[in-house]
């Protein structure tokens, strides 16, 4: 299962904004954006006016990095969004929000997206009491997502719940932190996506 293995702080610096890839660390002064708010690299060029293609590419890269998907996964998701009725860009973001690793993170059961992905991939997450080990699994309304009933896994999730206390839970999810579980109330809408993504730029690029 492919995933990015480099420094995620460099990804935030490249996009010039916090992507919150390291969980609670991103809210502290240790965040790379707070200390070095410029693109990574030895020969970093000064800011310049970006072309239309550059803006489109940066928006696509930002979305990929926020949700932790690689190019092939992203394009497969885009083609699926194209086949659905309605706005392709909104459909794409809704599909990304429905990923199981994203749901685990949004429920506060993991401290970072990497940890959420690891919990799912290691078989420590249950959907309707069945083991699902696929981070890209798309949840549906009525699905119940819960942490495996094992002491060391429950300890990790409990610590994450404490760290995420106070963080808002999307309206399309019904979280039960004390039980380390949650339920999908309805499908997310475009306005439920918390990230500053301009999906129209992504559609313009991927439709070429």
Please list, in sequence order, all residues whose beta carbon lies within 8 angstroms of the beta carbon of residue 71, skipping any fewer than 6 positions away: 64
CB 63 within 8 A of CB 96: yes
Please list, in sequence order, all residues whose beta carbon lies within 8 angstroms of the beta carbon of residue 161, skipping any fewer than 6 positions away: 108, 109, 177, 180
47: its two tokens: 């800011």
pLDDT at site 20 = 61
pLDDT at site 1 = 45
Q: Is this prediction's pTM over 0.85?
A: no
- CB neighbour burial string for 151-190, b if at least 16 within 10 angstroms, e if fewer: eebeebbeebbebbeeeeebebbebebeebbbbbeeebee
SS (H, E, C) 133-180: CCCCCECCCCCEEEECCCHHHHHHHHHHHHHCCCCCCCCCEEEEHHHC
Residues 93, 89: Cα–Cα separation, whole Å? 6
Below-50 pLDDT ranges, the chain: 1
pLDDT at site 196 = 87
pLDDT at site 47 = 59
For residue 10, which phi and psi values (nearest 5 degrees)? -65, -30
Which domains, ranges and CATH numbers included, belong to the chain? 8-96+195-206 (1.10.1050.10), 99-187 (3.10.290.10)
Q: How many CB atoms lie within 10 A of CB 73?
A: 18
> Which DSSP state fits 191?
G
pLDDT at site 8 = 64
Evaluate the CA torsion angle 141, 160, 11, 7 in order and state its sign.
negative
CB 70 within 8 A of CB 64: yes
């Amino acid at each position: 299962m492919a995933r990015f293995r480099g420094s995620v702080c460099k990804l935030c610096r490249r996009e010039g904004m916090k992507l919150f890839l390291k969980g609670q660390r991103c809210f502290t002064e240790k965040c790379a954006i707070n200390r070095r708010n410029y693109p990574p690299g030895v020969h970093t060029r000064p800011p310049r006016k970006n072309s239309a293609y550059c803006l489109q590419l940066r928006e696509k890269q930002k979305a990929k990095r926020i949700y932790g998907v690689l190019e092939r996964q992203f394009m497969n998701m885009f083609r699926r969004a194209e086949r659905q009725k309605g706005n392709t860009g909104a459909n794409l973001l809704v599909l990304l929000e429905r990923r199981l690793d994203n749901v685990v993170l949004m429920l506060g059961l993991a401290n970072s997206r990497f940890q959420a992905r690891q919990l799912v991939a290691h078989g420590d997450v249950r959907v309707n009491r069945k083991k699902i080990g696929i981070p890209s699994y798309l949840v549906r309304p009525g699905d119940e997502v819960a942490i495996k009933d094992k002491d060391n896994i429950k300890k990790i999730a409990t610590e994450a719940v404490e760290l995420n206390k106070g963080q808002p839970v999307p309206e399309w999810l019904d979280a039960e932190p004390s039980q380390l579980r949650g339920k999908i109330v309805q499908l997310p809408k475009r306005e439920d996506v918390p990230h500053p993504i301009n999906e129209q730029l992504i559609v313009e690029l991927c439709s070429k």
